[in-house]
Amino acid sequence: MQTTNDIKEMVRQKYSEIALQDKDTNAASCCGAGGCSTEVYNIMADDYNDLEGYNRDADLGLGCGLPTQFAKIKIGDVVIDLGSGAGNDAFIARHETGETGRVIGIDFTPAMIERARQNADVRGFNNVEFRQGDIERMPVTSNTADVIVSNCVLNLVPNKDEVFKEIFRALKPGGHFSISDIVLEGELPKKIKEAAEMYAGCVAGAIQKQVYLELIEANGFKNITIQKDKAIVIPDDILSNYLSSEEIATFKISGTGIRSITVYAEKPFEEKKTCCGPECCN
């Protein structure tokens, strides 16, 4: 059985390889998991072409939604992008927050950080920075961000509860997040859950949709809203790498659903303490 460190190292190695590829290579795979299917082109990723601030060179085709489209970013906001990759969502966030705002991208993989920094330097984006770090322990101070976005990243993290705790810590009171991620309705076959490539491909690491939403609520967030929900279908030629024909047929009739959801939630404003005695009124 893989340990947490084994999973993290596997993800780091896989995404180091992806960082050296282009979008067309990555998009012909299951969320960048490898060139395993000609049918998988953009089965998870949404089309960014109509979003202001989009830079194709920074898009590796690794997302499963458009969180920045729903993130309600305002001019002057401080935005954190978790799992920032080559900078795609960070650059769109920069367009929304403007010259007076600030964007911080955080990524686990040194090769991704290097590529994102190069993309920012080429474009002269002085108010965008990229920090290497584990999003279970974000390299930012508390109460930093007005908005946090993330695109198909939390499913790769073993301890999702810790990530939501960190998101809560990093947001300013009254701040909010918009996160696109992969979740499940029903159980994946054991062979898929145990496959490293399917984990790096954003599927095997996904948890139940209801559990995902409960984690958000348990960590103190309010006004939790699903902004988008779409089905993800894995082509048979990918499934056949892990399952027999009979197992594929059983999986298809099992009722298990793989969903891409974009979730919005807010960190409440700090409540003012009510004066209840002379010791707090001095």
Q: Tens digit of pLDDT for each residue in 59-99?
A: 777 778 899 999 999 999 999 999 998 899 999 999 999 99
- Angle at which helices 110-123 and 4-19 pack, to 10 degrees? 40
Mean pLDDT value across residues 233-241? 82
The band of 276, judged by pLDDT with boundaries at 50, 70 and 90, is: low
- Residue 142 pLDDT > 90, yes or no? yes
Beta partners for residue 4, in sequence order: none
| 3-class secondary-structure state, position 79 | strand
CB of 216 closer than 8 Å to CB of 224: yes
Q: For residue 94, which of 65, 66, 73, 121 has the smallest C-alpha distance?
A: 73
Tokens representing 154 are 């939390």
CA separation for the pair 77, 88 (Å, rounded): 18
> What mean pLDDT, rounded, does the chain reach?
83
Which segments of 167-236 are extended strands (E)? 171-185, 207-208, 222-232
CB of 160 closer than 8 Å to CB of 154: yes
Would you tell me which CATH number, out of the four given (1.20.210.10, 3.40.50.1220, 3.40.50.150, 3.30.1380.10), belongs to the domain 4-267?
A: 3.40.50.150
Domain ranges (residues) in the chain:
4-267
| CA-based end-to-end distance of the chain | 58
Beta partners for residue 147, in sequence order: 79, 176
Q: Which tens digits make up the pLDDT trace of 114-127?
A: 999 999 999 999 99
pTM tops 0.75 = yes
140 vs 278 pLDDT, higher one: 140
191 vs 120 pLDDT, higher one: 120
